[in-house]
Chains A and B, each alone.
Chain A
Amino acid sequence: MEVFTQQLINGITLGSIYGLIAIGYTMVFGIIGMVNFAHGDVFMVSAFIALVTLLLVTTWLGIGSFVIALLIVLIVAMLFTSLVNWAIERVAYRPLRGSFRLAPLISAIGMSIFLSNFVQVAQGPRVKSIPPFFNEVIVLMSGNGYDVAVSYKQIVVWIVTAALLLVFWFVVTKTALGRAQRACEQDQKMAALLGIDVDRTVSITFVIAAALAAVAGTMYLMYYGVVSFADGFVPGVKAFTAAVLGGIGSLPGAVLGGLLIGLIETMWSAYFSTDYKDVAAFSILAITMIFLPQGILGRPDVEKV
């Protein structure tokens, strides 16, 4: 029971990070129908930007307050990652819109290879670790010589994720921008006829996706304390699995899928074996796509001739 509760806490934390990345996949797929293969690497780049900012803030500016430092890191990482993703869309995907089906996917794979190797060359191939900080935990219950604890970091991850999701939900459902986005999702041509700048809306979608990925990247860096250039691929695939599991195109589905994947992964590691935890994630991806392609909250895709 204690192990289960502890894994539940860990799983929700991990799931929040996956959920934030999964929203990026699901939004981009919803609006232009492509799997943004480079999104996992955008997440990794954001973690590096957060790392640089964190070092800048703590060692150069000497800001000691954890909350202020985190806030600055978050905002800077979101800004720069948004710029990166905006540029990627502009350079690698926009010229291919309306081209044949596989072209954007191949371009995205190329971008993914480019990004991870760029970071490897620019920042070195070694794993970067930040000094441990903010390690206090709250012991919830203990029994059988096993403490169930929530760390402050985990609480921060939950609060930041929840706050950002609220803001994001507000933007998508209540603002003109969100309305334009949903309109483009349903029918781009019609949206354009009604005076919506489709290119701009797609760009903004990429910017929002990147901003959420940057939040995930910052949380990842803070929570694990390490990041390397190769950290984009596997979290990327898992977040994509989350998006598919929740129903691709559905925003609540992405969050739900993220939480589920996070829970499955931690439970699998706790009760079966850590060796095969990635196999579990990949198997869920394959099984979902084969047997439940519309996901939990998605709409079934009807093919018209």
Chain B
Amino acid sequence: MAPEASGLASRVVGALRQAAITGLIAFGLLLPLIGFNTVQNIRNELILETRWPLLAAMVAIIAGGRFLHALLIAPWLARRALRPRPEHAPRARLARWLVPFALGFAIVYPPLALSITGVQGAVKWIDNFGVQILIYVMLGWGLNIVVGLAGLLDLGYVAFYAVGAYSYALLANSFGLSFWILLPIAGCLAAFWGILLGFPVLRLRGDYLAIVTLAFGEIIRLILINWVSVTNGYAGVSGIPRPTFFGIPFNASDEGFAARFGLEFSPIYRTIFLYYVILALALITAAMTVRLRRLPIGRAWEALREDEIACRSLGINTTNTKLTAFAMGAMFAGFAGSFFAARQGFISPESFTFMESAVIVAIVVLGGMGSLIGVAIAAVIMIGGTEIMRELDFLKAIFGTNFDPTQYRMLLFGFAMVLIMVWRPRGLIATREPSTFLNARRALPSRAPQSEETQASLVRERHG
């Protein structure tokens, strides 16, 4: 009994010491910017205000968290690491059920939302959550081709999204073409830009490629801002025609959707229609990715990601391989962009900042590069999570009426990016299904699961 007690005591003392050190560091970090606040007084002069209680509270929370971590969580993690890992068969089964379930949920989501929240609430839930998340799922899946499959880190992906959006907006406004004609045109234009911007960066790799694509993305945004005669600059393009139900507009007129189908007019029909359009577009992206991975070009992408020099020595044309990856990824961004323009009815360069690119890259990498399910989960967590911040009005009751949860969206987003990277550097779903199986799987059906697992574990470990 006695040694245990002294062991506990020494652990508590150790934890206390660590908490004190952490608290001291936190105090130093937070003192200048939390301890002091620069505000303007009535005469427009900057003055300092102190916020000691806030500083003390934050330092106390951090030190307390460190104390609990050192005393309870760290030993628990150490114990867990010692235990033998369970077989990951249950997870495989979960994955098998997850896809049909998620798909089914995505399809019945609008009627479900409609029946639970009624027409007024459903517009918000379907548009802000459903459509918003699905746009990012689609962008994530599109970028997944470039980053996840071909291994080319593209930090300027939002440029192609912008190309798609402006193509639709400008062509529809100038020539009055419909959404369904311009959707493929916008995709083609974005793919063309993908090749155009992909061409100069063929020789670059890794971080350098990332920075140059970032530069391209910013250049396109700056051109959108400054080329006022075409793009209307910061003011953006407004009055973009909304998509029609294959020629039937969603308005209150006699020719409108509601009147034709004998329904009472409501904006909810358009929202639901848009939801299914983006769902279909996203699923097309996913289906094409799955198919492409089995084609020679898809295998060339994955080979390129693993080792470019080996690829070249095996006779793969790396130029074509990279350019097709850029073009494919850009095309889907173009589709998503023209959908975005049609949904919003208004676009401006503000929607296509570097931050958007970073968010999409974050979704792909956090989800686990190359994993379609992982990317979708990451999009739901990151976008749904930040959107739900808008709904947390009850926090005002706790922190006072000045508290605005939406301010903290990007703060938490950045924090989550760092946290997930440190926790799981390979992303949420690090296990990737092998693209190709040896024929042995078919030859020995009884041993199939095992061989599949061995191959999966080969893929899992640090390759790619």
Residues 86-106 of chain A: 1 if any B CB is under 8 Å from the residue's CB, otherwise 0? 010001100110011111011
Q: Is the CB of A35 within 8 A of B219?
A: no
Q: What is the bound-complex CA distance between A119 and B408, given in angstroms?
A: 11
Main secondary structure of the interface of B (DSSP, over half): helix
Q: Report which of A59, A109, A126, A279 forms a contact with B47, defined as CB distance below 8 A.
A: A59
> Shortest beta-carbon distance, B98 to chain A, in Å?
25
Main secondary structure of the interface of A (DSSP, over half): helix
Q: Report which of A100, A110, A285, A290 forms a contact with B425, defined as CB distance below 8 A.
A: A100
Q: Please, which residues of chain B bring their CB within 8 A of the CB of A237?
A: 214-215, 218
- Any A CB within 8 A of the CB of B170: no
Q: What is the bound-complex CA distance between A278 and B25, given in angstroms?
A: 37
Q: Is the CB of B201 within 8 A of A290?
A: yes
- Any B CB within 8 A of the CB of A5: no
- Any B CB within 8 A of the CB of A161: no
Contact A35/B38 with A87-B25, A95-B422, A102-B365 known, Cβ cut-off 8 Å: no
Q: Is the CB of B208 within 8 A of A289?
A: yes
Q: Please, which residues of chain B bring their CB within 8 A of the CB of A96?
A: 421-422, 425
Q: Report which of B28, B33, B46 forms a contact with A129, defined as CB distance below 8 A.
A: B46
Closest to B408 in A: A121
Q: What is the bound-complex CA distance between A34 and B219, given in angstroms?
A: 24
B398-419 interface with A by 8 A CB criterion: 407-408, 410-411, 413-418
Interface size counted on chain A using CB atoms at 8 A: 65
Q: Is the CB of A282 within 8 A of B206?
A: no
Contact A55/B46 with A237-B218, A282-B222 known, Cβ cut-off 8 Å: yes
> Shortest beta-carbon distance, A253 to chain B, in Å?
16
Q: Is the CB of B46 within 8 A of A290?
A: no
Q: Please, which residues of chain B bring their CB within 8 A of the CB of A103?
A: 365, 421, 425
Q: Report which of B218, B222, B414 forms a contact with A113, defined as CB distance below 8 A.
A: B414
Q: What is the bound-complex CA distance between A106 and B384, given in angstroms?
A: 20
Q: Report which of B210, B366, B415, B426 forms a contact with A114, defined as CB distance below 8 A.
A: B415
Q: What is the bound-complex CA distance between A173 and B133, given in angstroms?
A: 53
Q: Is the CB of B358 within 8 A of A275?
A: no
Q: Please, which residues of chain B bring their CB within 8 A of the CB of A114?
A: 411, 414-415, 417-418
Q: Is the CB of A303 within 8 A of B203?
A: no
A60-108 interface with B by 8 A CB criterion: 60, 80, 83-84, 87, 91-92, 95-96, 99-103, 105-107
A118-145 interface with B by 8 A CB criterion: 118-124, 126, 128-131
- Any A CB within 8 A of the CB of B354: yes
Binds B, one of A10-18, A43-51, A184-192: A43-51
Q: Is the CB of B426 within 8 A of A100?
A: yes
Q: Please, which residues of chain B bring their CB within 8 A of the CB of A101?
A: 206
Q: Please, which residues of chain B bring their CB within 8 A of the CB of A110?
A: 362, 413-418, 421
Contact A290/B214 with A55-B38, A110-B417 known, Cβ cut-off 8 Å: no
Q: Is the CB of B204 within 8 A of A123?
A: no
Interface size counted on chain B using CB atoms at 8 A: 60
Q: Report which of A111, A122, A279 forms a contact with B219, defined as CB distance below 8 A.
A: A279
Q: Is the CB of B204 within 8 A of A289?
A: yes
Q: Is the CB of A60 within 8 A of B48?
A: yes
Q: Report which of A56, A83, A128, A233 forms a contact with B36, defined as CB distance below 8 A.
A: A56
> Shortest beta-carbon distance, A271 to chain B, in Å?
17
Q: Report which of A35, A113, A286 forms a contact with B207, defined as CB distance below 8 A.
A: A35
27 contacts between A and B (CB under 8 A): A49-B32, A52-B48, A53-B32, A55-B47, A83-B25, A91-B422, A92-B421, A96-B421, A100-B425, A102-B365, A106-B366, A109-B361, A110-B414, A110-B416, A110-B417, A110-B418, A110-B421, A114-B417, A122-B33, A128-B46, A129-B46, A240-B211, A279-B219, A279-B222, A286-B216, A293-B203, A293-B208
**B interface residue numbers (CB < 8 A to A):** 25, 28-29, 31-34, 36-40, 45-48, 153, 200-201, 203-204, 206-208, 210-212, 214-216, 218-219, 222-223, 226, 309, 354-355, 358, 361-362, 365-366, 369, 407-408, 410-411, 413-418, 421-422, 425-426, 462, 464
**A interface residue numbers (CB < 8 A to B):** 34-35, 45, 48-49, 51-53, 55-56, 59-60, 80, 83-84, 87, 91-92, 95-96, 99-103, 105-107, 109-115, 117-124, 126, 128-131, 233, 237, 240, 244, 275-276, 278-279, 282-283, 285-286, 289-290, 293, 303, 305
